[in-house]
Structure 1
């Protein structure tokens, strides 16, 4: 599946590469599972509403989430660490 990163999500991903390898491994594991299983991935996926309607979230850890949606053969990643825009 082709991955399309929103700017903020890519910046968050780069942050994890430098700051926390354990979290980065978890993110990569979730992304790989989304490739294989779609919305039935690990991380307790939840369908979002409101401003993020159409997107889903998967838990990276207690605080952080990956926010994504699948469009055809494309995985669009909107957030990769913050909890629905929280910093």
Structure 2
């Protein structure tokens, strides 16, 4: 059984309007990318600092803001807090 300290509490997903617009764009234009994005969201909620898309902290935005590569051009940008993760955008570069 894992130590109680090593178990992360579940974080709530908060989807900002820009993120939802970006997700709608991907569903309408490139379903394969939309599915990759949804897999990334699931993985971010489970483990925000490691996994697919080469997670990296963004130094020029708010503290605890991270990005992952969706494609060579586009990034998933999210803000990690103790009890929630805000998904900020899913198109373009930050």
Place the TM-score, normalised by the shorter chain, in its bin: 0.7 to 0.9
Structure 2 partner of 1:14: 24
SS of 1:25's equivalent in the other structure is: helix
Structure 1 residue 48 corresponds to structure 2 residue 58: yes
Structure 1 partner of 2:80: 70
Q: CA deviation at 1:41?
A: 2.5
Query: 5+ residue gaps in structure 1?
Result: none
Runs of 4+ with >6 A deviation: none
Q: Give the total of aligned pairs.
A: 84
- Is the helix fraction higher in 1 or 2? 1
Superposition CA RMSD, Å = 1.4
Q: Give distance in 2, aligned partners of 1:35 and 1:3.
A: 7
Q: TM-score, normalised by structure 1?
A: 0.85
Structure 1 residue 23 corresponds to structure 2 residue 17: no
6, 12, 25: which one aligns with 1:2: 12
Indicate how the Cα distance of structure 1 residues 69 and 20 shifts in structure 2: closer, same or farther if over 3 A, else same.
same
